[in-house]
A and B are shown apart, each in its own frame.
Chain A
Amino acid sequence: MEELSKLYDAILVGNFKTAREVTEKALAAGTDPQDLVQKYMIPAMDEVGRRYEANEYFVPELLIAARAMKAALELIRPLLAARGTEPTGRVVIGTVKGDLHDIGKNLVAAMLEGAGFEVIDLGVDVSPDKFVTTAQDKNASLIAISALLTTTMGSMKTTVEALRQSGSRAKVKIMVGGAPLTQKYADEIGADGYSNNANGAVALARRLMTA
């Protein structure tokens, strides 16, 4: 449908007004909301992510695209929830205890939502226990932890251990990211994955869901 490809385009260029208008019209015309998500919205965000990784898009482009996606998603979410449609996955995300930086974490959260994940954002200064109990309570299969301060990175290790102690280690995967993070550090602390950018985080989350 030519009209619906306008939704794809609107998200790609970050035009949230058009994204919302096209979605409204489509839903009023009886289009399956799940189709909108799977055939137009997620592919649009995938392309945004690809361009970001190819360094054609940077943070500003990511932000406006995510905002357009969210505008469309806000109209669709209640319909999907009413149907009991399950998201791609459920992720608990936050910045570690003692760290108040959230720009990177917000970008990853936006990209994960754009990829169809249900994101439970715990904000900043999140204790290891809070990550673990929220994941258990909400039946999340992923915990995504961000840190910008070297001094607070140790809390990621504590979170992995807390998860192990809770007995949920097999059911919940942990992914980590943030400026001072490296793959090596992620491996050392027993995290399941690391990405150094928001698009890589989406690919990683998808991979961990099927692992």
Chain B
Amino acid sequence: MSNVPADLKYTQSHEWVRGLPDGTVEIGITDHAQHALGDLVFVDVPEAGRKVTVGEACAVVESVKAASDVYSPVAGEVIAGNPDLAGKPETINEDPFGRGWLMRVRPSSTVTGLLSAKEYEAVLAEEGA
């Protein structure tokens, strides 16, 4: 069973969202997602200042098996992409919910439609994970 921290929000497409004290959110891919992808060899994160909409492909994670898009769970402006991933993409495999964050976004409106940890666990159970 994948690790699904209770204090985060999730999407059907395996992104996680962490609300930060300053009103911005941190976004990454879940432990399940990194496990399914396998060893990551390249990560392409968005530039600060980019405007993203919900469901927009805004980052790419490439493993030895596949290159996959990461979809923004929220609408808003990118504050930062994780600068450490370019040189160390394996950080996502090692610490998907921590040092492996992909980007920080300032939401342009109240964030809705995300899954709780329980709901995401149900999604994983349905996928047979």
Q: Does A associate with B in a complex?
A: no
Residues of A whose CB lies within 8 Å of any CB of B are: none
